[in-house]
Structure 1
Amino acid sequence: MSPRDYDEAGDPVDLGALTGLRTGKRSFYPAYVRSNERLERAVEALDGISRALVRGAEGPRALVEAVVRAAAEHLQARWLLLAIADGTLRAARPRFLLLTDDRLIDDVAHLSIEMREQLDMARMRPWEIATQPQVPGLVRAPMTLDGEPVGAIVARPCPALEVATTDLAVMRVLANQAAVALYNSYLFHATTQLRGRTEQLSEAAAKQARDLAARNAQLAETQQRLFAAMQRQALDDERRRIARELHDSVTQSVLSAGMTIEVCRAELATMGPQTAEIADKLAPAKDLTRCAVERLRAAIYALHHSSDEPPAPLPVMLERLSTVHLPSDLTVDVQVRGTPMPLPPEAEHSIVRITGEALFNAASHAHASRAVVRLVYAPDGIMLTISDDGTGDPAQLRRRMRLSQVANPDGRHRGLANMLARADELGGTMTILRARAGGVMLRVAIPLPVAVTGGGTDGHP
């Protein structure tokens, strides 16, 4: 059989073009066998490449080990080195791996001089491997990624192995695929780490949210307790103020009346039998004054004890105020219009104090027998009015209120200045008018939302 034959058209056909071999009849079969062996080795190498590359999920080192073993098996190498160039694939580990005598080495101290030279070239000058011709006895394949050299595979194959062009092609394929797989493995593990970090952050955020919710609940409970304490303090302040007023004015007046009666009885007893009879008639008056003083002292003692009322809305606080703080017989009617809405504790405290001041003045100074407290809730503000049927003069009170704005008030009318100051702190206004019942009507207008300023004003009328 001749190396050349003819096709159906009669043109000569080159046998080498059909088989990839250029040989005569006597050497064709051995060459065909060698070519078939190379093809089988190439297929085995590609199969080894595929098995190596799918191990990327196990981590970069497992991938490098699999690639090194597949390449060494294909070349029947005495040693094979895979190295990553400096400054590339920064997260890839290990940076190099050597397989020799079925041992994997990643320590430079265990490398021979020849191995170190090839390692230095792959690390620092990988482009030379891609551009320079092959060195006899060595097989070098560059690792490229996006057209840039990122390392190399260098091997010393078995001397009996005839390295063909297909072997070099297989090594280049393996090196390039290893570079891509290393990069993908890095991305995979980086994503896994980010996912784990994200889960940790999510757990931490959820824990912080739970802690924040618990702290918010504690804060809400603390605010509720503070609000309750401020409500109790508002009533307690009124009690103490009334107790001071009873002690400083009413009790002293009753004691003075009793002492005056006793002096008169003593003088009448020295004037004769007729006046002595009159003195005897004053004895019950003395006993009445003593009884009044004892009752006043009992009332003062009771007023000085703190209240234990539970927290309540502002209308309920005004109801309680109307029953606990008055020093005389005064009937108070509390009326609420509109939909009650929660206010800042400082605002409710000031409204209670203003109401208490006004009711005390109506009972103590205007000698009123009836008072009406009206609280009106509107979308844009709150209106508080306290009206009585006493003897107070609105014009005189307005004059005193104007004077209190330019001078420090003193005496028993200091409460009027306190009420005006509290209204100002709430951003509102206070006016004094004539009530329909004939007495005084105090009107306080507070806009919404309430802006509390200042630290509050304490005092007594």
Structure 2
Amino acid sequence: MTTENYLGALTGVRSGKRSFYPEYVRTAERLERAVGALDRISRALVRTGEGPRALVEAVVRAAAEHVQADWLLFAVADGALRAARPRFLLLTGGTLVEDERLFPPDALAHLRILRTRPWEAGDPADTGVRVPMTLDCEPVGGIAARPAPGMDIADTDLAVLRVLANQAAVALHNSYLVHATMQLRGRTEALSEAAEQQARDLAARNAELQQTQRRLIEVMQRQALDDERHRIARELHDSVTQDVLSAGMMIEICRAELTEPGTDLGALRDKLTGAKDLTRHAVERLRAAIYALHHSESEPSGSLPVLLERLSTVHLPTDLTVSVSVHGEPVPLPGEAEHSLLRITGEALFNTVMHTNAARARIRLDYRADRIRLSISDDGDGDPAQLRRMLRLSSATDLAGAHRGLANMRARTEELGGTLSIRRSRIGGILLLLEIPLPLVTEAA
């Protein structure tokens, strides 16, 4: 057989079997249609960036053109590709329809099948053709069509529709990811801008806070200076002032006696010597107060009963007899607390000497489970009601230093969280009673 005869047998040209050539022609047409379909598929699927709807419309038109369909349906199964929009779309007469109420009955039957997963593609009762759409080997919908009359749908056409459907599923998913990424990027930019704005706001607030803190520090420094000034004034009043006033009173008495005839100069000299001792004592106490102002926090606290015992013997050079009694188990107290209680007791004894004719004074210190009771009583002629009125008056107005001792005693007591009361003593004079709760509460704490 010649070469020409071989070519004729293969192509069907001039062959004795008349069926070979028409089959060849149909195969060539299918091949040409397949190539054209692939070209349309590629043009449709590159529209991923335009959004899901544009992609679906391009797929529907490419598939309908390939099978020359009277109508073509693209549908996503219920529950699959949840972000895909539209869920189904019908192309009929060149018009895209999304309302299923306008679908032809046969298209509506295919829609119900495509929306249910899984479904059987080979239903002989169906009219038209239908191919599944899969993603990761899972059915996610499909394409159904009714070809034009006389249109012969071969396996290659179904293969083209399957490729188009599967690639459409991938493209839909990618389109969703692209748009989700863009939205996420927009949210990220918005969050970044909000974070920058918040950072600017925080910086402004931090600057305001620093300015407020500087002002607060200045106020606290001024307050600390005022508190220290008041504390120094109280210390000087409760210590040095007592001796200075005693010396001044004694000097006034001596001046009055000098004007009287027959004055006993020896007795007068003794009184002036006492005044001199008081002034020397005042200087010593002033130095001690200055030293205490510089070293009060560093010095160890002493024993309050011992300090009261010493106070009763060296308070003033008078004939006042002072007794100290301690009851209960002594409780260690901070140095500031012992110092305040000691100053209160000293001020009370000083008032007893200066303002009454008392001969005896009693200091009683009671340590109890929940409080400390300190009482200073005398047998003088003082009036408790008058002292209470003076104390109220000193609290209501500034008396230019008058009755400052009473106000200082109450202020020190309140700093310790306690109360100060003034009563009539059992031995006839004044009773000052301090009750300090335990555990001790101080301003420093």
Normalising by the smaller structure, the TM-score range is 0.5 to 0.7
Question: Match of 1:69, as an amino acid?
Answer: R
Question: Match of 1:158, as an amino acid?
Answer: A
Question: Match of 1:163, as an amino acid?
Answer: I
CA shift for structure 1 position 262: 3.6
> Does the alignment pair 1:78 with 2:77?
no
Contact 1:80–1:99, Cα closer than 8 Å, also in 2: yes
CA shift for structure 1 position 267: 3.4
Map of 1:69 onto structure 2: 61
What is the aligned counterpart of 1:411 among 338, 342, 350? 342
Map of 1:233 onto structure 2: 223
Provide Cα deviations, 1:194-234, integer angstroms capped at 9, x if missing partner.
33333333333333344344444444444443333333322
CA shift for structure 1 position 41: 2.3
CA shift for structure 1 position 118: 0.5
Identity of aligned residues (%): 60
Query: Relative to structure 1, is the Cα distance of residues 147 and 406 closer, same or farther in structure 2, using a 3 angstrom cutoff?
Result: closer
Query: Relative to structure 1, is the Cα distance of residues 6 and 199 closer, same or farther in structure 2, using a 3 angstrom cutoff?
Result: farther
1:338-377 equivalences in 2 (<5 Å)? 364=286, 366=288
TM-score, normalization by structure 2: 0.58
1:45-444 equivalences in 2 (<5 Å)? 45-129=37-121, 132=122, 138-251=128-241, 253-271=243-261, 364=286, 366=288, 400=307, 405=332, 409=338, 410-412=341-343
Contact 1:21–1:32, Cα closer than 8 Å, also in 2: no
Partners of 2:444 and 2:183 in 1: how far apart? 63
Partners of 2:262 and 2:228 in 1: how far apart? 50
Question: Match of 2:146, as an amino acid?
Answer: R
CA shift for structure 1 position 103: 1.6
Map of 1:43 onto structure 2: 35
Partners of 1:397 and 1:118 in 2: how far apart? 104
Question: Match of 2:135, as an amino acid?
Answer: L
Question: Match of 2:80, as an amino acid?
Answer: T
CA shift for structure 1 position 146: 2.1
SS of the aligned residue for 2:144 comes to: strand
CA shift for structure 1 position 247: 4.2
Contact 1:137–1:157, Cα closer than 8 Å, also in 2: no
CA shift for structure 1 position 152: 0.9
Partners of 1:105 and 1:385 in 2: how far apart? 94
SS of the aligned residue for 2:47 comes to: helix
Partners of 1:370 and 1:121 in 2: how far apart? 100
Contact 1:79–1:155, Cα closer than 8 Å, also in 2: yes
C-alpha root-mean-square deviation of aligned residues, in Å? 4.6
Partners of 2:144 and 2:77 in 1: how far apart? 13
Partners of 2:190 and 2:238 in 1: how far apart? 69
Provide Cα deviations, 1:21-54, integer angstroms capped at 9, x if missing partner.
9986666665544443333322221111111111
Map of 1:437 onto structure 2: none
Map of 1:389 onto structure 2: none
Map of 1:311 onto structure 2: none
Question: Match of 2:332, as an amino acid?
Answer: Q
Map of 2:392 onto structure 1: none
CA shift for structure 1 position 184: 1.8
Contact 2:45–2:171, Cα closer than 8 Å, also in 1: yes
Provide Cα deviations, 1:303-354, integer angstroms capped at 9, x if missing partner.
xxxxxxxxxxxxxxxxxxxxxxxxx99xxxxxxxxxxxxxxxxxxxxxxxxx
SS of the aligned residue for 2:72 comes to: strand
Contact 2:307–2:342, Cα closer than 8 Å, also in 1: no
Query: Relative to structure 1, is the Cα distance of residues 252 and 190 closer, same or farther in structure 2, using a 3 angstrom cutoff?
Result: same
Partners of 1:210 and 1:232 in 2: how far apart? 33
Name structure 1 gaps, 5 residues minimum: 286-327, 330-361, 374-383, 387-392, 416-453
Provide Cα deviations, 1:78-114, integer angstroms capped at 9, x if missing partner.
1100011122212211111111122212222222222
Partners of 1:397 and 1:102 in 2: how far apart? 109
Question: Match of 1:153, as an amino acid?
Answer: I
Q: Which moved more, 1:103-112 or 1:405-414?
A: 405-414
Question: Match of 2:160, as an amino acid?
Answer: V
Contact 2:52–2:175, Cα closer than 8 Å, also in 1: yes
Provide Cα deviations, 1:158-195, integer angstroms capped at 9, x if missing partner.
11323233222211111111112112222222222333
TM-score, normalization by structure 1: 0.56
Q: How many residues align?
A: 316
Question: Match of 1:411, as an amino acid?
Answer: L
